[in-house]
Amino acid sequence: MRHHYAQVGKYSSIYGGQQVMPLVTKSTHTVTISFIFLAFAAQAETCLAPQRPFVPSDPAAAKEYEDLIRRDFETYISDVQDYFRCMEAERGRAFTEAQEVSQEYGRFVQLMAAQ
C-alpha cells in the first residue's frame, strides 16, 4: 500500500491527519545512503558447516561402502577445518565492524549534540 505524505508545520503527516516524525533532511538522506552502500560493501561472509558423514547402522552395508564412507570422513575433516578458519575470519571481521560502528555512533551523537 502506498502512502501519500504532506508537510504540516514542522511535522509530516499521512493523509488523514495522523502526525508522524519530522521530514528527513537531504543531508540525512546522503548519510543514510552512504551507510547502506557501506553495509553492502562489507557484508558478512557466510560460513557453512559441512554435513556429518553418514555411517549405515548395518555392518554389511558399512563394509560394502567402506571406501566411500572413509572418503566422506576425510572430506568432512578437511571441510570442517576450512569452516573453522572461515568462522575465525568472520569473528575478526565482525569485531572490527563493531568497533567502526561504535566510533560512527560516537560521531553521530556528537553531531546531534552540536545542533
Q: What nine digits make up the cell of 91?
A: 569473528
Quote the pTM value: 0.55
Range of the domain at 11: 1-41
Question: Do residues 36 and 58 both lie within one domain?
Answer: no
Question: Do residues 114 and 73 both lie within one domain?
Answer: yes
**Residue recorded with cell 572461515:** 86
What is the tens place of the pLDDT at every residue in 6-47?
444 444 444 445 444 444 444 555 555 555 545 544 556 799
pLDDT at residue number 35 = 55
Q: What nine digits make up the cell of 9?
A: 508545520
pLDDT at residue number 57 = 97
Question: Do residues 9 and 57 both lie within one domain?
Answer: no
Question: Do residues 26 and 49 both lie within one domain?
Answer: no
Question: Do residues 60 and 11 both lie within one domain?
Answer: no
* Domains: count for the chain: 2
* Cα–Cα distance measured from residue 13 to residue 102, given in angstroms and rounded to the nearest whole number: 33
What is the tens place of the pLDDT at every residue in 40-87?
445 567 999 999 999 999 999 999 999 999 999 999 999 999 999 999
Question: Do residues 32 and 63 both lie within one domain?
Answer: no
